[in-house]
Chains A and B, each alone.
Chain A
Amino acid sequence: MKLAGMLLLLAGWGIVVSAVVLFPRPLARALFVLAGLGLQQLGLILAFRSGARLPEEAK
């Protein structure tokens, strides 16, 4: 879960940077940047959900 969250964060960043490079038109660029941020949000949620599990020694 944590690994998947981290990969989504990385993939979201890739989309954001690609959008800046590939789309000079502001609208297309903004849409892809928002899509990248959305993917990062999913990644954060996934990482937090797996991070909420308490290690055995902490119980």
Chain B
Amino acid sequence: MTPATEAYDPSLFACMVLVPLVPLALAGLVLMNTGLGRTRSAAHSMLASMAAIAVAALVYCVLGFSWEGIAGGSAHTVAVAGRHWDWIATAPFCLRGLTFTSTRANLQVLLQVCAVGLAALIPLSAGADRWRISASCFSTALLAGWTYPLFAHWVWAGGWLAQLGSTDGLGRGFLDAGGASTIQVVGGLTALSIVWIIGPRRGKFAEDGIAPAIPGHNIVYVLFGSLLVLPGWIALNGAGAMLFAGATPSQTPLIAINTLLSAAAACLVALVITRFRFGKPDASLSANGWVSGLVASSAICASVSPLVAILAGLIAGGLVTAAVELLELRMGVDDPGGAISVHAVAGIWGLLAAGLFAGSERGQLTAQIVGVATLLGVILPLTYSLNWLLDRLRPQRTTREGERLGMDLHELGAGAYPEFMIHTDDFLQR
């Protein structure tokens, strides 16, 4: 498409309106992460988020985009079993291969910069209160420079997962309009790797295995953040569906409705489950339920009816409340923000839901299962090994003294709330 004809493409006009709204999703997640952490690490959480977004944007533009490329661009292929597997793009570094007169390509890059920033925020939530800011920046560089672009190429830039439909007759190939896999599950699996590497917060798990709750310090941040992510997520799903899944602008209202309904159903089911489980509704789990509905909607937003979106949201909300408890109490995983449950578990559910409900093409569920298996079998070992190597070079976890003081004082030299009375037990040796 030439620049002249692109000017009259209504989907590009719609994307120009939607893409600048995506950073609202990032802002909402930052607020949620900060609210779910402790008082003594609040400023650290906000600054680490800003730094992660900045590193992700720069590294993606310098390196990452060259591995991801755009659909139809040049790519390396591997010939196996008589067919060519498109596994990585060969675009020049520093966006030099980008034609700046191409609106579609530029919008794709802009959306990807926001998307990789969103993915980078997910591990920060899991590593709250103990992950060094410098280590989180290096880890983000690995995510934005290699892990994210590699998988995004397979899904969004004509890679082998996107081609499963044409080469193997598996439906329409791997479906993910809004980034449930590329952003959410990749971020969630990186969060899991980080938690495995840096371990739990001191005092989280006692010798006898009991895990005392360490509640978030500001539930208003958490709830306001979860509301703030909604317009950003609608924009992300809408723009992603048009730029990567061939949706038309007339589908935007349906995408918005599906996104909202999925979040609403997931929030309510989390609220009801926690009400019956604990006697009173749990605000932080309900907020996590809301986001899990948004995550699940990313995979299905453009291809299902509103009723299916509600069903997907109901299951996502139930899965998240169960997964948070399972991971913490049975698996010994200390994930302060519930990032693994919200982004990885709900994201995988959304991808499978796309296989079950999005269209009647034969083999669609198999295509989705192949994508999920790739996330678990390639991306998780890859992100774990990269972060493990990084940890060997420089420990990612802060010192014992740093954790006792709080990340604000230890790494920034000042607290987020200098006029607040600090609770004495904040400084007790745990």
Contact = CB atoms under 8 A, between A and B. Distances in A.
B157 interface: no
Contacts of B362: 26
Nearest to A53: B332
Nearest to A6: B381
Contacts of A12: 373, 376-377
A40 B196 contact: no
Contacts of A13: 373-374, 376-378
Interface in B368-419: 369-370, 373-374, 376-378, 380-381, 384-385, 397, 400
B201 interface: yes
B320 interface: no
B368 to A, nearest CB: 11
A10 interface: yes
Nearest to A56: B199
A48 B377 contact: no
A16 B369 contact: yes
B373 A40 contact: yes
Interface in B278-328: none
A57 B384 contact: no
B76 interface: no
A40 B380 CA distance: 11
Given A20-B168, A51-B332, A29 B377 contact: no
Given A6-B381, A9-B380, A12-B377, A52 B370 contact: no
A58 B332 contact: no
Interface string A40-59: 10011001100111110111
Contact of A58 (B81, B202, B385): B202
B376 A44 contact: yes
B15 interface: no
A13 B384 CA distance: 16
A8 to B, nearest CB: 9
Contacts of B332: 51-54
A30 B400 CA distance: 50
Interface string B198-209: 111110110100
Interface in A9-48: 9-14, 16-17, 20-22, 26, 29-30, 33, 36-37, 40, 43-44, 47-48
B63 interface: no
Contact of B397 (A2, A16, A36, A57): A57
B421 interface: no
A37 B196 contact: no
B331 A9 contact: no
A54 B196 contact: no
A43 B83 CA distance: 29
Contacts of B202: 57-59
Contacts of A58: 199-202, 204-205
B196 A51 contact: yes
A9 B168 contact: no
B1 interface: no
B373 A16 contact: yes
Given A10-B378, A12-B376, A55 B366 contact: no
Contact of A20 (B207, B370, B397): B370
A51 B387 CA distance: 14
B196 A2 contact: yes
A16 B377 contact: yes
Q: Which 4 A-B pairs have the closest CB atoms?
A: A13-B377, A52-B332, A55-B199, A16-B373
19 contacts: A6-B381, A9-B377, A9-B381, A10-B381, A12-B373, A12-B377, A13-B376, A13-B378, A16-B370, A16-B374, A17-B370, A20-B170, A21-B80, A30-B366, A37-B369, A37-B373, A40-B373, A55-B397, A57-B397
Interface of B: 80-81, 83, 164, 168, 170, 195-196, 198-202, 204-205, 207, 331-333, 362-363, 366, 369-370, 373-374, 376-378, 380-381, 384-385, 397, 400
